[in-house]
Amino acid sequence: MMSNTALATPGEESLDTILTLPEKTGAIAIASACRDTALEFVNDAERWGKAELAMWLMGPYAQVTQYVPSATSRMRSEATRPIPLLREIDARMVDRVIRNARTEVLATLQRTMDPEGGASFAFSMLAAGFVVRCEDRQHVTGWVPTTDARRLADRVLSLLAADYLTRPTEYETDLSICGACTAVDFDGVSRLRGTCHRHGSGMFAPKSRRSTLPYMPEGA
Ligand SMILES: [Zn+2]
């Protein structure tokens, strides 16, 4: 969609503008880094405090959002740095902010398992300017998150949107959310089972030592 860049006026802010990634930075590698960074939040943040959140924002999050030198983020750089965000948050509120963001991200991820829900998620992230199209030096196209997201949930979701737009089918076939512990993974077996490896391991394990499962059960 919208691949005709020749019509865009130089300097014009346009959805058609494709960001060229730096040398040796692959579009798929960025999608993977975005996914890993988002899953680190989703799967670990329940145990985080202010320090851990700050490290995530200034470390992996800052790494994957460094590629968009857009006019808006330059103008608003003071306002979009992670530090002011944290300064705004009272230490006692960090737990709640993390918990609410995680709940919102999980609910949104749940919707991306369905193609229609995924498309509407992607559209809202695009419309908000939280992701932009990119192309690497090998002409592989992908998506990168911007620094425009302000709410913690939106910051996490912008990473997932970049990954989703690059590899939507993995959300439709492999994305799994454990019914027992809400751990998020990309694993077709976990998805079918509805539980993560930790919680799924007991389900098909032999009840006694004599009983074994020589084959995977039909449809497992
Ligand atoms: Zn689990």
pLDDT of residue 41: 98
Quote the ligand 1 centre to 57 CA distance (angstroms).
26
pLDDT in tens, 178-213: 999 999 999 999 999 999 999 986 555 444 444 444
65: pLDDT strictly greater than 80: yes
The rounded Å distance from CA 199 to ligand 1 centre is 5
Q: How far is the CA of 100 from the centre of ligand 1 (A)?
A: 20
178 CA to centre of ligand 1 in angstroms: 5
CA of 71 relative to ligand 1 center, distance in Å: 42
pLDDT band at 55 (very low <50, low <70, confident <90, very high): very high
Residues 6+ apart with CB under 8 A from 8: 14, 16, 17
Instruction: Using the mean position of ligand 1's atoms as its centre, give its distance from the Cα of residue 198 in Å.
Output: 6
For residue 185, report the distance from its CA to the centre of ligand 1, in Å: 10
pLDDT of residue 93: 85
Q: Compute and round to an integer the Cα radius of gyration of the chain.
A: 20
**pLDDT tens, 99-150?**
999 999 999 999 999 999 999 999 999 999 999 999 999 999 999 999 999 9
What pLDDT, on a 0 to 100 scale, did the predictor assign at position 163?
Answer: 98
For 4-34, letters b (16+ CB in 10 Å) and e give eeeeeeeeeeeeeebbebeeebebeebbebb
The distance from CA 72 to its chain's CA centroid, rounded to whole angstroms, is: 22
Share of the chain above pLDDT 70, in %: 74
In the prediction, which pLDDT does 200 show?
80
Burial class of residue 144 (count of CB atoms within 10 Å of its CB; 0-12, 13-18, 19+) = buried
Q: Where are the domains of the chain?
A: 19-172, 174-220
Cβ neighbours for 128, distance < 8 A, ≥ 6 positions apart: 148, 149, 154
User: Whole-number mean pLDDT of the chain?
Assistant: 83
Q: What confidence category does residue 18 fall into, taking pLDDT thresholds of 50, 70 and 90?
A: confident
Q: Could you give the percent of the chain with pLDDT greater than 90?
A: 70
- Ligand 1: distance of its center to the CA of 217 in Å? 21
DSSP state at residue 177: E
CB-count exposure of residue 129 (10 Å: 0-12, 13-18, 19+): middle
Q: Tell how far CA 10 is from the center of its chain.
A: 31
State residue 70's pLDDT score: 53
